[in-house]
């Protein structure tokens, strides 16, 4: 990973953290003051290294763990701010980054909710990972 790739990756996280829901090469280039083609090449390298996942056939960031570039039904809320997550585990990870709040996961009988207060998690449900972490990138969209 180049120094520029590290800057692009940091900018992606800033954008998601700021609540931007569509993070792509154009938005990242604008925010960083860079040339879009250079950012596209960097996004390709970051995706190849499994540091982000791009939406099929585009330079839109679909995943920059724990943030999701799509509404998956999993989300985190801190005050009046919210973020899309990729899974329940990522919804909790967003709270670890952004502060105390609520993590939501879709359930058969409505949302499962975990409340994080002063760093403590009240149990809302069990996070069950169906695939070992070593195999997540085999099909990261499913995982």
- Each residue's pLDDT tens digit in the chain (143 positions)? 899 999 999 999 999 999 998 999 999 999 999 999 999 999 999 999 999 999 999 999 999 999 999 999 999 999 999 999 998 889 999 999 999 999 998 887 777 888 888 877 787 666 666 777 777 766 666 65
Domain for residue 136, yes or no? no
Domain for residue 138, yes or no? no
For 35, phi and psi rounded to 5 degrees? -80, 130
Mark which of 64, 97, 112 sits at the end of a domain: 64
Same domain, 56 and 93: no
Mark which of 42, 64, 86 sits at the end of a domain: 64
Q: What is the SS3 string spanning the chain?
A: CCHHHHHHHHHHHHHHHCCCCCCEHHHHHHHHCCCHHHHHHHHHHHHHCCCCEECCCCCEEEEECCEECCCCCEEEEECCEEEEECCHHHHHHHHHHHCCEEEEECCCCCCEEEEEECCEEECCCCCCCCCCHHHHHHHCCCC
Range of the domain at 55: 3-64
Same domain, 43 and 95: no
Query: In total, how many domains does the chain have?
Result: 2
Same domain, 82 and 50: no
CATH of the domain at 58: 1.10.10
Predicted local confidence at residue 143, as pLDDT: 56
Chain segment 96-128, per-residue pLDDT in tens? 999 999 999 888 777 788 888 887 778 766 666
């Amino acid at each position: 990973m180049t120094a520029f790739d590290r800057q692009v990756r940091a900018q992606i996280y800033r954008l998601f953290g700021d609540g931007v829901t569509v993070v792509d090469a154009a938005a990242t280039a604008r925010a960083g003051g860079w040339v879009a083609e250079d950012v596209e090449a960097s996004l390709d390298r970051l995706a190849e290294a499994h540091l982000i996942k791009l939406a099929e056939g585009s330079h839109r960031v679909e995943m920059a763990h724990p943030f999701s570039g799509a509404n998956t039904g999993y989300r985190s809320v801190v005050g009046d701010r919210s973020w899309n997550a990729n899974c329940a585990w990522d919804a909790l990870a967003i709270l670890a980054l952004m502060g105390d709040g609520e993590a939501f996961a879709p359930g058969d009988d409505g949302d499962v909710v975990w409340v994080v207060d002063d760093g403590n998690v009240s149990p809302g449900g069990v996070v069950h990972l169906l695939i070992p972490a070593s195999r997540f990138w085999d099909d990261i969209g499913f995982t």
